[in-house]
Structure formats: structure tokens, C-alpha cells
Amino acid sequence: MPPEIDAGAAVAGLSHPLALRRGVAYIRLMIRPILIHPDPRLKKVCDPVALITPEVRQLAADMLETMYDAPGIGLAAPQVGVTKRIIVMDCIKDGPPEPIVLVNPQILWSSEDVTTYEEGCLSIPEQYAEVKRPAEVQVRWTDLDGKTQERQFAGLWATCVQHEIDHLDGKLFIDYLGPLKRQMITRKMEKLKRERARAG
């Protein structure tokens, strides 16, 4: 697996970021630790990104690397301890990967139709629950070239983008569940963190 990518090319979403070799400015990727619930950093409302800087591009590239390594289909910056409004996604299960980076994403419109998916989360490993969300959403964001983008997401992409934007507002998928189910999952995560701390 190549250790470096062209971060500018990675955000184009044209091919798997680990395979990109275009351009000359390579950056070194880093798999960042994923925070596990409960963690106060996962409950904070994230700050908007003011400028697309090399640090933002580095973070985006690292987040994609971390997401693919986990593996997962989405990751938000607060999950790696950075309280900035950045998410990455790739919901392609079969076929060429389609990585996408969304900076300061905003949901402009949500459909009245809803859909139910069994959701999981890299910050709540091995726990799943059915969550209802709008079936389609229109989202506006800034890409890593500083350009405004808009896209209507449907299906798994719609669920994923809503799940990840929730992270930017300090909300987890378990917050949609009843208190008993939420408490049960939280206790399991507390136990997992204790076990990992002892093993670490």
C-alpha cells in the first residue's frame, strides 16, 4: 500500500486516494486514532473551517486513510479529535471507490419520505440500531479547492451524509434511540474502553 498520496487529487473523488499518483506534491498519510464513545469531544459542536489550508488537506487525506483502514463508509473530524466541520465518505461497496470530502456541509433540503437503515459508527464499534432519516437530502459544501459544491444524495449516501453531519453537531446515532437502549450501548462502550486501556 503506497504510504503517500497527492492530497489535492484525493479530494477530486475520481479514484481511490491510495492509488492516486498525480501531481508532484505528495503528503504522508497517517491513520489517526478514532475516539470511542463516551468522549466529551464527540458531543461538541464543531467550528466552521475558515480557509482551505495545507493542514485541512492533510486532515482530509488522513481521515480518508483512517476511514478505509477501519473500515467504514464515513468519518467526521471530531471522531479523530478535531472539532472542525469536515466529513469524508465513500459508500461504494462494489465497484471503483468514490471518496468525497465535504468541508462545512449544510443540508439545504430534506425529503418528506423517510428510510430506515441499520446504522453503526466507528466511534461505537460493533453496535447497530435502526434509525429513520429523510430518504433524500440536498447538501452544499466547500471542496478542497475552495469551490462550492451541491449534490442531492439518496439511499445509503443520504443516510451516511446525515449521520456524519450529525457528528459535527455533537450528535450520535444512538441519540435517536430510547434511553434504555442508549444507556446499554454506552455501558458496553465504557467496558470496551476499560478493556482496551488494560490491554494497551
- Point out the residues that are catalytic: 164
In 2-78 the beta strands, taken as DSSP E runs, fall at 4-6, 26-28, 74-76
**Rounded-to-integer distance, Cα 88 and Cα 101, Å:** 5
Question: Residue 198 is placed in which grid cell?
Answer: 488494560
If residue 154 lies in a helix (H) or strand (E), which one and from where to where?
strand 148-154
The amino acid present at 196, given as its one-letter code, is R
What per-residue string of b and e applies to 154-190 under the rule 16 or more CB within 10 Å gives b?
eebbbbbbbbbbbbbebebbbebbeeeebeebbeebe
φ, ψ for residue 178 (rounded to 5)? -70, 160
Beta bridge partners of 151: 139
Give the β-pairing of 136-142 and 124-134.
unpaired
